[in-house]
A and B are shown apart, each in its own frame.
Chain A
Amino acid sequence: MMQEHLIKVTNVSKSFAGVQALKNIDLTIKRGEIRCLAGENGCGKSTLIKIISGAHVPDEGDIEINGKHYKRLHPIEAIREGIQVIYQDFSIFPNLTAAENIALNSELAKNRRFVNWKRVKSIAKEAIRKIDVNIDLDAKVENLSVADKQLIAISRALLQNAKLIIMDEPTTALTQKEVNALFKVVKSLQQKGISILFVSHKLDEVFDLAEKITILRNGQNVIDGDTSQFDKEKFVYYMTGRKISESHYELQQESNQCLLKVEKLSQKGSFYDISFDLYSGEILGITGLLGSGRTELAMALFGLNPADSGRIYVEDRLTEIKTVQDAIKNRIAYVPEDRLTEGLFLQQSIGRNIIISTVEKLLNKYKLIDSEKMNIQINHWVKELNIATPSTHLPVQALSGGNQQRVVLAKWLATNPKILILNGPTVGVDIGSKTDIHQIIRELAQQGVGVIVISDDIPELLHNCNRILIMRKGRIVGEFGGKSITEKELAHQLSAT
């Protein structure tokens, strides 16, 4: 007799090097259920996923899948039981065609020695037909969009008789349209009786899609229940363990000092006719979907990829910004979107990461680095931004997401910027640090810095920006005061076509 639940995890604990990553976790997933697994970074979500997929062996507890009990679940067994994980990087091969990527794993699982290209193609065709999407199967995957790559990963999972598909933050890199398409696919999977475990901390998504929510905090299961039991406040409370007070940022006084004036800035294929002003003390939000040109605009302002035409005035002076060095000279700073690859030198020390953009100011009269000045500078910023670390000699990769972001901020604040551009300032940062970072941004603005926050985190924009620009298809299509628009309206504006 078939049980109602597909997988039942009972009392699972796991620790690494003496730190308890999971403690007495229970999790049951029914057939055809869509469940959301939420929690801040480091709460144990990924450890739990790894245990379910057999990549980690729990210290204690029981895993029951399809009525069979496992103390030690091997990855192969997990796959045989129909458990498929879709990782954030999708685990696909950029150098192979879409068809081969879809068919390869299942052919491998069948222990095939030889490749029959006709079969590969027909398997792939069948697989994408099942989820009713259209992908160029002969294209090399490196030339496909993120959404297509994800669909490839999903159809590949289905080929392996998936009964439970685990998706690790699947919407991070998708546009709203693509997210909608993905949700349609997920719902159709559900109708086929396939269960979905959906890892996310984006509220609207979770409420949109999931039937059940499980929230982890500090390795413990803090709540488990129907989506209908939750509201936003409750969700945040369980994730963080504290209530977040929300306030609006307001300009203290109208300033007439225009720090940055952009006129008709265009870059072919990215953005067109962008004009706006940024005044001292302002926090200006820029939002738009992925592909709206918001990141390209930021990169153009910072000299990483200069615009083709248009004018930039910094403090009323017409200025050419062709390189990052030009931008820094004009006291512009940029906290990039991807902290790990663009912002930090992971294996290098916290100290070196903080001073790298200001090292020229730390030289003595022989043009050599003055260690004393250097240490003063480093310690100043560690203290100023509350970076929690036992030593500044540790590599920055040892820090948590929130502290890493503070290091990136410290690097730029050390350059004493007049204009600070932050792209996704709190992506992948736990809610505690998020509040701190917002506080820092506000204080900077109050000191007269002009801040631009690029984000698709709607509450973040509403609470911290006194003005918000909306970009769509490379153009600015709207401007709102931070208080004059509600979350719903802004979300609607964002996804309108």
Chain B
Amino acid sequence: MKKILSTNEFLVALIIIVLSIIIGSKNSVFFTAGNLIDLLRSGIVMGIFAIGVLIVIVSGGIDVSFTAIASFCMYTTTKVLNYYDFQGSVLIAFVLAGAMGLILGLINATFISFFKLPTLIVTLGTASMYSGFLLAFVGVREISNLPAGMSKFAKMNILKVTSENGVVSSLHFSILILIAVVIITWLLLRYTMLGRGIYAIGGDRVAAERAGFNITAIQFFIYGFVGLLSGIAGIVHTTLMRNSNPVNLLGMELIVIAAVVLGGARITGGHGTVLGTLLGLFLVIIMNNSLILLGVPSYWQRLVIGILILIGTGATAYRTMRSSRQLHRNSVG
């Protein structure tokens, strides 16, 4: 019991509950079905990204290129499908964008694995290349006229709620994609040797090598998987926004990383859970979306997010610093 109470997940959940009560008591709109659905909806794309980021951080790396990959995939896919005036299913869009994302992710993996370059630097470089290429050669103008399959998909809601004053909130089908990604990743990390390998690399790379893990293969999987997820997230983003904009995802990467870290993943690798990531993300989304409900002008958003990140990471850092001091005292002879 004590173990559960001291986990990071519990702490974040507690903060979420307290925060919800505070916001809810100030404005009853918070607990309406409509608002909750809006919160979920705004978490879909970030959620898919966050799962990808989690895997990278657990393995001891960091990826800042996923928004560039997502932008690249969704915009290029939209443009290509429009060019051929494609009328078929949205599945093709997902396959196309997913495949592109996979390839871009594997390019990341090549630099990281073969040339042993630091992950931050590689993804920084490729992010600049991917978005530069996209904007220079594919296009810069927003496409509001989506291919048929995608605009049909955009209208697929699984739940619709109309509030008293007539505002409609709808839960989009793509929440199921997020749920699928979450379940698959959870199973992968928990019950496959590959998943344990990801934790092992993050814990001690040399030991993982000696144990017989194929580090190269695992790294190719990690960055390929993140690329694939980014491609899918890109299409989801486009359909939710009902237009394809090559720049409006860029810049989101640091918030997503922050959410994953708030959820307990350690930037040094080896630690992090799917549940924690979802909680961390939910916390960020609540803060992001509820300021207006509290009557705070929306331009306070950045400041609040900044404080949230500092308090969240500060609390964990302070705890680990104290406990490691304790441990140090006890273990040094």
Contact = CB atoms under 8 A, between A and B. Distances in A.
So, do A and B actually touch in the complex, CB under 8 Å? yes
Q: Is the interface of B mostly helix, strand, loop or mixed?
A: helix
B47 interface: no
Given A114-B191, A296-B332, A91 B203 contact: no
A202 to B, nearest CB: 16
Interface in B178-223: 190-196, 199-200, 202-204, 206-208, 210-213
Contacts of B195: 115
B333 A104 contact: no
A289 B271 contact: no
Interface in B206-259: 206-208, 210-213
B333 A93 contact: no
Q: Is the interface of A mostly helix, strand, loop or mixed?
A: loop
Contacts of A107: 193
Interface residues of B, number: 27
A329 to B, nearest CB: 24
B330 interface: yes
B207 A93 contact: yes
Interface in A268-290: 269-270, 288-290
B333 A96 contact: no
B263 interface: no
Given A93-B270, A108-B211, A113-B193, A292 B333 contact: yes
Contacts of B193: 107-108, 112-115
A88 to B, nearest CB: 12
B192 A105 contact: no
Contact of A95 (B199, B212, B330): B199
A91 B211 contact: yes
Q: Which of B204, B208, B271, B330 has the most CB of A within 10 A?
A: B204
Contacts of A109: 212
B196 A95 contact: no
A100 interface: yes
Contacts of B333: 175, 288-295
A109 to B, nearest CB: 6
Interface string B246-288: 0000000000000000000000001100000000000000000
Contacts of B210: 87, 91
A309 B202 CA distance: 41
A295 B332 contact: yes
A95 B329 contact: no
Contacts of A145: 331
Contacts of A270: 329
A175 to B, nearest CB: 8
Given A104-B211, A115-B191, A96 B203 contact: yes
A94 B213 contact: no
B222 to A, nearest CB: 16
A26 B333 CA distance: 39
Given A115-B192, A296-B329, A92 B204 contact: yes
A94 B332 contact: no
A104 B196 contact: yes
A27 to B, nearest CB: 23
B3 to A, nearest CB: 9
Interface string B296-333: 00000000000000000000000000000001011111
A167 to B, nearest CB: 15
21 contacts: A79-B212, A91-B207, A92-B204, A93-B203, A96-B196, A96-B199, A96-B200, A104-B200, A104-B211, A107-B193, A108-B193, A112-B193, A113-B193, A113-B194, A114-B192, A115-B191, A115-B195, A267-B329, A269-B329, A270-B329, A288-B333
10 smallest CB-CB distances across A and B, nearest first, come from A290-B333, A95-B270, A93-B203, A95-B203, A91-B207, A291-B333, A105-B211, A91-B210, A108-B212, A295-B332
Given A96-B203, A115-B196, 12 more contacts: A91-B207, A91-B210, A91-B211, A93-B208, A93-B270, A95-B202, A95-B271, A113-B193, A113-B194, A115-B192, A289-B333, A290-B333
